[in-house]
Amino acid sequence: MNRTAPTAPGDLTAPPAAGRLGVIAFFDVDETLLAAKTMLDFWDFWAGSGIWPIPAHVPDLRARAAAGVDRGTLNREYYRRFAGVPLGTLRSAARAWYDTHRRGARAFVTAGIEAVERHRTQNHEVVLVSGSLRPLLEAVAEDLGGAEVRCAEQLVTDEGVLTGEIDRPMIGQAKADAVSAVVHARGARGSDCYAYGDHESDLAMLRSVGHPVVVGGSAALAREAARAGWAVLGGQVGPRAHGRTSGPPVPASGNG
């Protein structure tokens, strides 16, 4: 029987009890918090590490994306590369990749990281919403103080081996659905919550909360932000300044 991959024992992504009112800040990860396309960067690490044999004739996803293949299809093709890999092996590799990445001089999107730290200072719950791999996102959440991860869930056998399939790509409307599910589970109000994203595929998520914030220079998001009066943060990259909570207050805006 196949099932979704479980969270690691004792990790920080297990949701708290339902019914807790409060403010939740939802963050996309790639180019919103991390200055990386995490799935592609991790694949380069994985393929070059010799940890596991690489399948023959792996499609070039960058080339397929440039050719216009839709993101959902590319997402599923990516995860199929890991068919037959033990989940524990993937977890170890993902943490090794992140441990290296986080030390880089251009590892993070500065404004996104500062926003996370300001929300945490105000006792807001931080939730990561991304199409990337759960093992990698769990490492990011633990490092940044995220309370939960919502992502594409990889299916595993009862023996803990990845099948190569996922439940649903965490793209577009799936992100908005994930936000709504967390808000409902917490007994929170979407109008009180924040969402941060850098790409037009984040639009549904941004529109699902009361305080959408655009990160970076997406032309499509800039147009929507100008139309709806959303807050916009810069996309500059750099290292993480630990303990830094200075800067302007968490941006407040209407949802248009």
Each of the 256 residues of the chain gets a pLDDT tens digit; together they read 566 765 543 333 334 443 346 899 999 999 999 999 999 999 999 999 999 999 888 888 888 888 999 989 999 999 999 999 999 999 999 999 999 999 999 999 999 999 999 999 999 999 999 999 999 999 999 999 999 999 999 999 999 999 999 999 999 999 999 999 999 999 999 999 999 999 999 999 999 999 999 999 999 999 999 999 999 999 999 999 764 443 344 444 333 3
Q: How far apart are the first and last CA of the chain?
A: 45
3-state secondary structure 2-27: CEECCCCCCCCCCCCCCCCCCCEEEE
DSSP string, 79-113: HHTTTT-BHHHHHHHHHHHHHHHTTSTT-EEHHHH
Q: How far is CA 182 from CA 30, 72, 194, 206, in A?
A: 20, 22, 12, 14
pTM recorded for the entire structure: 0.87
- Tokens 């309370």, residue located: 147
Strand partners, 128: 27, 149
7 Cβ contact partners less than 8 Å away, ≥ 6 residues apart: 13, 14, 134, 138, 149
Quickly count: other Cβ atoms within 10 Å of residue 194's Cβ.
Answer: 24
Q: Provide CB contacts within 8 A for 91, sequence distance 6+.
A: 8, 135, 138
Side-chain-side CA neighbours of 95 within 13 Å: the count stands at: 13
Give the ranges where the chain is alpha helix by DSSP (H). 38-49, 61-66, 71-80, 87-101, 110-121, 134-144, 173-186, 203-207, 219-228
**What is the distance of C-alpha 104 from the center of its chain?**
19
Q: Which of 155, 233, 165 minimizes the C-alpha distance to 194?
A: 233
The sign of the dihedral angle between the CA atoms of 6, 10, 12, 17 is: positive
Cα–Cα distance for residue pair 3/233, rounded to 1 Å: 39
